[in-house]
Chain A
């Protein structure tokens, strides 16, 4: 029922946006997030998307005085979905990369990410290529961590790529993986949970100058500029810091 209702609503939206032609102001912005990347985006117990990305998205929409509809979409189809106009923006902790910039446009970054190795507590796990030789390391498919793993260690370790970060955690906990390369902040969240309590960060953080932005279609310059202005505004008026403090005791901007 909910589904048909939502479908009818989106039909109505498509129809109305077609009628309004190109008027961008005062319309509905459809924003996609993944919903499997706690604490940045996840599906909460009531079935609604929540998390840092979602709160930032809502704050930005409020700032822009736009109505927003947040939809969830599997990670490896999230860029194709944007290009297919199923939604207008992606706020899902997406790193700004050259490869992605060839197909979508990014706003200014709304947070910075570093990568980290995670391994079982109580074991020595040096993170240089020589010591990792022959080990099995995991990461999520189609992520910066996955690309880092394939590109820098792919020739010496067994790389396993997962559909979701949650599945990688499961295999780390079951011992199928010797370690994992992941974005540091979601891993921090997992390590403080019960399931991740037997694991810890290993070695140095991997700073790859990774900036997280909002993706829009390449020809949507107007929407991109509106997002940019709104990001700057919520950073300046303290809304950003307020949301940040709910999730991490340190600034991630």
Chain B
């Protein structure tokens, strides 16, 4: 234990003396920032693509027709049940083993041969499985009264989904979706294993040249924390926007326009 304290204080001393670590920070910080940009692109793109894929998957999943629900069921089972690293390697190193894929022209040269797009494909597939499952739960959690009200207004099945059920489900999954995006942010560090210079890739590059592993991993961890904080703030904002009704409950009855204030409303709020 005392050894640890001595070593830690020695390490702190080297930070204050001499230019050595600071030179390295100055040289590699811009590369880390380039890495942050790549990491953000990976998370945002796969977050959006994954979401767009998740909606039809969830709708098929809740269908009672076996022809419709079998595919999303297997899809979700596979992508939730295997490690993200395995999925990345399957997309990047696995697909490239097939000779015929390499003769597909631009699909190979511009997409599948690029580590960037392989990472986006793997992350989108992975996250869409999780979001689809969130969505399924949310659709089933939309209060029955609201769909009944929509039916009473004479809405068709399609209109009900478009105007009532899906928007409500979106509000319900928002907190969990934010959670999933944060998990994705941390999972995106695995992109460095397929040569991509995301934040983690740039960090490992810097360590391989400077051997300042403790310093650069601490720095990278700190940057990931900041990115997470930004994402948390962003989703808070979205929640306020889409789940405004949850805040509305706090409204004091007394502040309401006296004209719309009646016995019935007072009872319902109380």
Contacts and interface: CB of A to CB of B under 8 A. Distances in A.
> Does B associate with A?
yes
Contacts of A141: 204-205, 208
Contacts of B214: 80
B249 interface: no
Contacts of B140: none
- Counting contact residues on chain A (CB < 8 A from B), the size range is 20 to 34
A176 interface: yes
A55 interface: no
A174 B193 contact: no
Interface string B75-104: 000000000000000000100110000100
Given A76-B204, A176-B113, A103 B97 contact: no
Contacts of B93: 167, 170-171, 174
Contacts of B213: 77, 80
Given A160-B195, A167-B93, A142 B113 contact: no
B208 A76 contact: yes
A167 B96 CA distance: 12
Contacts of B37: none
Interface in A134-151: 138, 141-142, 146-147
Interface residues of B, number: 17
A102 B23 CA distance: 15
Nearest to A104: B211
Contacts of B193: 163
B195 A161 contact: yes
B115 interface: yes
B102 A76 contact: no
Contacts of B207: 76, 142
A141 B209 CA distance: 9
A52 B211 CA distance: 26
B211 A174 contact: no
Secondary structure call for the B interface = helix
Contacts of A147: 209
B205 A80 contact: no
A77 B96 CA distance: 28
B3 to A, nearest CB: 10
B220 to A, nearest CB: 14
A103 B113 contact: no
Interface string B201-242: 000110111110110000000000000000000000000000
Interface in A42-95: 76-77, 79-80
A203 interface: no
Contacts of A99: 209-211
Given A141-B204, A174-B102, A176-B96, A162 B211 contact: no
A174 B92 CA distance: 10
Contacts of A163: 193
Nearest to B195: A160
A162 B113 CA distance: 15
A175 interface: yes
B202 to A, nearest CB: 11
A23 to B, nearest CB: 19
Query: Which residue among A80, A163, A170, A176 has the maximum number of chain B CB atoms within 10 Å of its CB?
Result: A176
Interface of B: 93, 96-97, 102, 113, 115, 193, 195, 204-205, 207-211, 213-214
Given A99-B211, A171-B96, A175-B113, 6 more contacts: A76-B208, A138-B195, A141-B204, A142-B204, A142-B209, A162-B195
Interface of A: 76-77, 79-80, 99-100, 102-103, 138, 141-142, 146-147, 160-163, 167, 170-171, 174-176
13 contacts: A76-B204, A76-B207, A77-B213, A79-B211, A80-B213, A103-B211, A142-B204, A142-B208, A161-B195, A163-B193, A170-B96, A174-B97, A175-B113
